[in-house]
Structure 1
Amino acid sequence: MRTGLSFSGGKDSTFALYRLKEQGISAVCLITTIWKENGETVAHGEKLERLKQQANQLGIPLELVVTDFESYTTDYKQKLMELKHIYKLEAIAYGDIYLEGHRKWGEELAKSVDLKSLYPLWTDQDKAIQLLYDFVASGFKSRVIKVDEEKLPKEWVGREVDMNFIRDIQTYDVCPLGESGEYHTHVYDGPIFYSKSHRSEG
């Protein structure tokens, strides 16, 4: 099934790509939303260059939805219609985990352009911690690039997401996966990154 993946460069969308590959589903493009105003990613406020490096390391084309707050859904739908034609898409996949509102939006968007919607990470909220264990155990390397300082220490920015991280985050009253925006990550290595000599860690 030829699939586009909604991609932020963080652990959830990267792990979703990994799970798609495990299921034999071909992600033929990565779809990233960026703000018209400053060119940074909508999801994490990342510089676009780092996302381009990731896409190169993953060997998958990066496609951009240039948008603003008011026209977000309209712009995404228009771009998805274009990408459906260019890549012969049959589906779009998302890295959402258990928030029903996020899933409803994604399903409605996919339906509006006659695509299937895939959620390879979808699970019950109480199983989120296991998903984080699976991400780390699979060999992915990522760092925290942003935190909600009302929920987690600002000193966690730059921290590796590893077994120590998993231990420590369980002492806070937050989703261990940061599903509600408690923290965001950048993935710089892992089993689906093939350009080993040019990986971006910075």
Structure 2
Amino acid sequence: MNIAVLFTGGKDSVFAVHKLKDEGFNVKVLISIIPSYEYSMLYHKPHPQVLMLQAYSMGIPLETATVVDPGREEVVLDEVLSRCVRRYGISGLASGAVLSRFQRERFEKIAFKHGLEAIHPNWGVDQKTYLRTLIGYGVRFIIQSITTMGLPHSMLGRVLSAEDVEKILVLSEKYGFNPSFEGGEAETVVVDAPLFKYRLRCEGSIEERSEYEAFFNIKKCCLIPKN
């Protein structure tokens, strides 16, 4: 089946691409909807250059669209899907959704409108072991934003290790946040994965807005050879 994947460049959408390929799907195109405003219930706010470099590293075409009005978030995806059905002959739409019924239901509504099958390869994974699964699979990522109590700002902007993951699991128990960040507690950027032909290097600075909110603002990113 030819399929499009809703792509943010974070751990969930990148892992979804890998799982789909492992299951025999033909990932024809990545779709990224980029809000021009700070907070969106439906989409993350990815860094456009990061998306292009990740897509290039995986050798998969990327289609992007910017949404400036929160009331048009679903309309913009509808328009992009129309274009992708024509250009790539897709018959399915996949997302990296893990737990959010809000996202899943809206993505499915738009997919079904175009006669597409909706697929969510990460749906329902065990929240306490998910980060371990990603590290074990070879997905390497940084935390780009933190919006919760309990996650140390020192984790921003650096590639997380297996030891970091264990620390996050302990902290999630202590402070009550979702250990896979599905509640929006943090957003991630994948810098390497098995499908990547090149690794991504991100440089930037940390902006701390409060004890519970901080960001790694990416100023420069590039691809570098693996090994």
- Aligned counterparts of 2:162 and 2:36: Cα–Cα separation in 1: 37
- Aligned counterparts of 1:166 and 1:36: Cα–Cα separation in 2: 31
For 1:122-181, what per-residue CA distance to the aligned partner results, in whole angstroms no more than 9, with x for missing partners? 115xx1222221110011111111111445233321232321122111222111110011
Please name the residue that 2:164 is paired with: 165
SS in 1 for 2:187: strand
1:115-130 to 2 correspondence within 5 Å? Answer: 115-123=116-124, 127-130=126-129
Cα RMSD (Å) = 1.8
- Aligned counterparts of 1:146 and 1:74: Cα–Cα separation in 2: 27
- Say if 1:94 and 1:178 are closer, same or farther in 2 by CA, change over 3 A: same
Count, aligned residues: 194
Please name the residue that 1:155 is paired with: 154
Point out which structure has higher relative CO (alpha carbons under 8 A, 6+ apart). 1
Say whether 1:70 aligns with 2:57.
no
Q: Conserved in 2, the CA contact under 8 Å of 1:44 and 1:146?
A: no
Give TM-score, length-normalised by structure 2. 0.80
Structure with higher strand content? 2
Greater Cα offset, 14-23 or 107-116: 107-116
Deviation at 1:43, TM superposition (A): 4.2
SS in 1 for 2:9: coil
Greater Cα offset, 100-109 or 1-10: 100-109
Aligned match for 2:177, one of 171, 174, 182 = 174
- Aligned counterparts of 2:18 and 2:78: Cα–Cα separation in 1: 25
Where do 4+ consecutive residues of structure 1 move more than 2 Å? Answer: 35-38, 42-47, 149-156, 159-162
- Aligned counterparts of 2:161 and 2:12: Cα–Cα separation in 1: 15
- Aligned counterparts of 1:119 and 1:8: Cα–Cα separation in 2: 14
- Aligned counterparts of 1:169 and 1:104: Cα–Cα separation in 2: 29
SS in 1 for 2:132: helix
Q: Conserved in 2, the CA contact under 8 Å of 1:4 and 1:29?
A: yes
Please name the residue that 2:130 is paired with: 131
- Say if 1:177 and 1:70 are closer, same or farther in 2 by CA, change over 3 A: same
Please name the residue that 2:189 is paired with: 186
- Say if 1:23 and 1:158 are closer, same or farther in 2 by CA, change over 3 A: same
1:36-51 to 2 correspondence within 5 Å? Answer: 43-51=43-51
SS in 2 for 1:77: helix
- Aligned counterparts of 1:100 and 1:8: Cα–Cα separation in 2: 18
- Quick one: percent identity of the two aligned structures? 26
SS in 1 for 2:135: helix
- Aligned counterparts of 2:99 and 2:16: Cα–Cα separation in 1: 13
SS in 1 for 2:131: helix
Say whether 1:10 aligns with 2:13.
no
Q: Conserved in 2, the CA contact under 8 Å of 1:151 and 1:182?
A: no
Which sections of structure 2, spanning at least 5 residues, go unmatched? 203-227
